Amino acid sequence: MKKPDDNPYVEPPIRAEFDGTDEITEDEAREQIELLREAVEYHDYRYYVENDPVVADKTYDALYDRLEKVEDEFGLVDQSSPTRRVGGAPLDELESREHVVEMLSLDSSEEEDEVRAFDERVRETVGEVDYHVEPKFDGLSVELVYDDGVLEAAVTRGDGVVGDEVTANLRTVRSVPLRLREAPERLVVRGEVLMPKDGFQELNRRRVERGDEPFANPRNAAAGTVRQLDPSVVADRPLDVYAYDIMETTAEVGSQSEAVGLLEELGFLVDEESRLVDGIGGFVEYRDELLGRRDELGYEIDGVVAKVESFDARERLGSTATHPRWAFAYKFPAKTDETRVAGIAVQVGRTGKLTPVVLLEPVDVDGVTISRASLHNEKQARELGVSEGARVEVERAGDVIPQVKEVIEDGDGSFRMPESCPACGSEVVQEDEHHYCTGGVGCPAQLQGRLEHYASRDAADIEGMGEEVVATLVDEGLVSELPHLYDLTVDDLRALKGFGGKSARKLVEEIEESKEVSLASFLTGLGIRHVGKERAARLADSMDLDGLREADANDLRRVEDVGPEVAETVAGFFEGRGGTVVEELLERGVEPESKETGGSDVLEGQSFVFTGSVEGYTRRELTDELERHGANVTSSVSSATDYLVVGENAGDTKLKDAQEHGVEKLDEKEFREDVLETL
Ligand code: IVH
């Protein structure tokens, strides 16, 4: 992308006179906003597309903050501003939308013969051709529609004719330009939404930490994210869109290379592995090369694509009902192989969840030896029919956890979860599709994990209490429940293998210091199911510890990001064994402290429902703000609702319900003036 000429904000130093909170007129504000948007867009591009930022984070933040401030002060926000990337109001459902140009699929094969046959058909019709060769991205296809250079719509590929409109979600993706520079009047682009491998690993790590199910592979993660109803969730997930085709444009383009060149110039993320080759031999070589390098790429690919370079030739070739005759995908063989199941073990996780682990006769799949595969639960094991002795096809899905894809030959029967915990013998209970040990902190498998977790940096942060030390404490019987940690003495520790006087004193000191802990870290450390670091922070922001201990599921549901299941779990934790553990920790002097919330009770007893969006706020921010002042925010209108806040793009159902129940409506202006501004 070209650098916006003469824009003082694009590179430091930033012009000083635009920095302060100087009085400016509305015209000056408009001018400033334009320059700041260009600058932020340019720096987003350098960072997210080129991977080559030219300013320090601090400088970028200053530009962004200034832009947000001027937009807010003058009420000059619009959907294509880079400040809107944080995600707008949640939707009730995704709308269907017809594609501008029918989205065909690709003819494909794993066989070289078929690839050569495709080339013969091409040459019969148009003679010798060059091919533009590209990776075949393993994500999901989207259509991006730009009018006068502004992103108007993003639609996933559905059945080829109609897809789901996901514009609000894709606006949060930094590699999707919201405005194009020097753009053609009309541009329809096709590309692939992907989750890069590193971002995927990190996202799964965070999910596991919160007790959520990890995504099986980057493709599933990307697909699940794009179909989210809450754009602010999408904004927090690492997605990219690679642009690979122009479907319609008013610009002059005569070949695929020109099309890709134009996309790049306009600020889209285009892939660097694409190139022009002469003839099908070049394509086959390209396939071999990328197959060898697929693990080095930052994203998943499942093959390569050849496209006839010249658009004239393409037109002569035309399309069938399902795919163009000018393109072909040479698919990679799946990363799978066959082996035998040696047994199925059952693992007990930190939160007591039991997971079956398939033990395999070691097999090499695409250069990596696989000897274990995990399953989510008993149901999955049964559905797949995995049991000891079975012959199975295993797959390295998304370079992560190996999976059993299919049973080729049955084993000795069906697998069942044990009725008692393999680690402690306590009863195992089933909740939904999962099984849990009820031993809690009394289960050694959990105790070890629970103590490590409690001592971890995001929790009580007890330095020096890593895996080995915890194992020693548990094995020696010094700690059989979490609160016992606080009974440890220097003498106890000094007697242990690996400890001297100094290290024993140091650890006791560390444990003593951990008594002063923030409520959020304390809650994180308790290892309550579904409550990781982020949710713990939300709970801590809305209640103090006494409040939490007394709260029932209904009270807890008012906390942001806490649904019915989480609310039940948290309430259940404090009512049961967890409550006793907390009591014992407090008795030993642990003092979790709440943050000042800065709230009030001016909205106490008033109930709000939102429909549509309120400019400048996400639904989450609004809910938080009202709840901090005592209001109750719910998702549907009933006779208990006091106000329906009607924002932009409001839904009919809620308006009708409000009418029916005689609920007072507040338009955006009334809501701002009569509610928000009084807080
Ligand atoms: S071009 C009319 N190029 O593969 C042809 N598609 O089964 C338009 N895909 O749905 C597609 N990488 O999601 C094209 N470099 C690439 C691609 C690509 C991945 C996907 C696309 C499509 C599927 C075809």
Position 608 scores a pLDDT of 93
Rounded Cα gap, residues 447 and 462, in angstroms: 16
Dump the DSSP string for 474-543. HHTTS-SSGGGGGG--HHHHHTSTT--HHHHHHHHHHHHHTTEEEHHHHHHHTT-TT--HHHHHHHHHH-
By most ligand atoms within 8 Å of CB, the mutation choice from 286, 299, 305, 322 for ligand 1 is: 305
Under a CB-based contact definition with an 8 Å cutoff, are residues 606 and 636 in contact?
no
**Beta strands 240-249; 368-374: pairing state:** unpaired
Give me the average pLDDT of each 10-residue run along the chain (679 residues): 79 58 79 91 90 87 89 87 85 88 92 97 96 96 94 91 93 94 90 95 82 81 92 92 94 95 94 94 96 90 96 96 96 87 89 90 82 88 91 76 86 88 86 84 80 90 90 89 94 91 93 93 88 89 91 91 87 86 94 73 88 81 81 86 90 87 92 88
Distance from the CA of 365 to the center of ligand 1, in angstroms? 26
DSSP state of 94: P
Under a CB-based contact definition with an 8 Å cutoff, are residues 517 and 454 in contact?
no
Q: Is 268 in the pocket of ligand 1 (CB under 6 A)?
A: no
Under a CB-based contact definition with an 8 Å cutoff, are residues 380 and 394 in contact?
no
Instruction: Classify domain 441-593 by CATH number.
Output: 1.10.150.20
Under a CB-based contact definition with an 8 Å cutoff, are residues 297 and 272 in contact?
no
Distance from the CA of 219 to the center of ligand 1, in angstroms? 14
Position 5 scores a pLDDT of 79
Distance from the CA of 307 to the center of ligand 1, in angstroms? 10
Q: Is 137 in the pocket of ligand 1 (CB under 6 A)?
A: yes
**Domain 108-331, CATH among 3.40.50.620, 3.90.380.10, 3.40.50.2300, 3.30.470.30:** 3.30.470.30
Position 22 scores a pLDDT of 59
Ligand 1 atom index nearest CA of 135: 15
Rounded Cα gap, residues 499 and 70, in angstroms: 59
Ligand 1 atom index nearest CA of 140: 13
Q: Is 244 in the pocket of ligand 1 (CB under 6 A)?
A: yes
Ligand 1 atom index nearest CA of 327: 5
Question: Is 197 assigned a catalytic role?
Answer: no
Distance from the CA of 80 to the center of ligand 1, in angstroms? 27
Q: Is 156 in the pocket of ligand 1 (CB under 6 A)?
A: no
Position 16 scores a pLDDT of 47
Domain ranges of the chain: 4-77, 108-331, 335-409, 441-593, 607-678
Determine which residue's CA is closest to atom 3 belonging to ligand 1: 244
Ligand 1 atom index nearest CA of 108: 7
Q: Is 529 in the pocket of ligand 1 (CB under 6 A)?
A: no
**Domain 335-409, CATH among 2.40.50.140, 3.60.15.10, 1.10.10.10, 3.40.50.261:** 2.40.50.140
Q: Is 134 in the pocket of ligand 1 (CB under 6 A)?
A: yes
Under a CB-based contact definition with an 8 Å cutoff, are residues 218 and 397 in contact?
no
Could you tell me if residue 575 is left (phi over 0), alpha (psi between -120 and 50 degrees) or otherwise beta? alpha
pTM for the full model?
Answer: 0.62
Fold of the domain built from segment(s) 4-77: Helix Hairpins (1.10.287)
**Domain 607-678, CATH among 3.90.1150.10, 1.10.10.60, 3.40.50.10190, 2.20.28.120:** 3.40.50.10190
Position 400 scores a pLDDT of 57
Phi, psi values for residue 304, rounded to 5°: -130, 160
Q: Which residue has the tokens 């909740």?
A: 431
* Dihedral sign for Cα atoms in the order 33, 34, 37, 39: negative
Which of 2, 3, 136, 533 is catalytic? The answer is 136
Q: Is 104 in the pocket of ligand 1 (CB under 6 A)?
A: yes
Contacts with 438 (C-beta within 8 Å, 6 or more apart), sequence order:
352, 421, 426, 427, 428, 429
Phi, psi values for residue 103, rounded to 5°: -95, 100
Distance from the CA of 244 to the center of ligand 1, in angstroms? 8
Ligand 1 atom index nearest CA of 141: 13
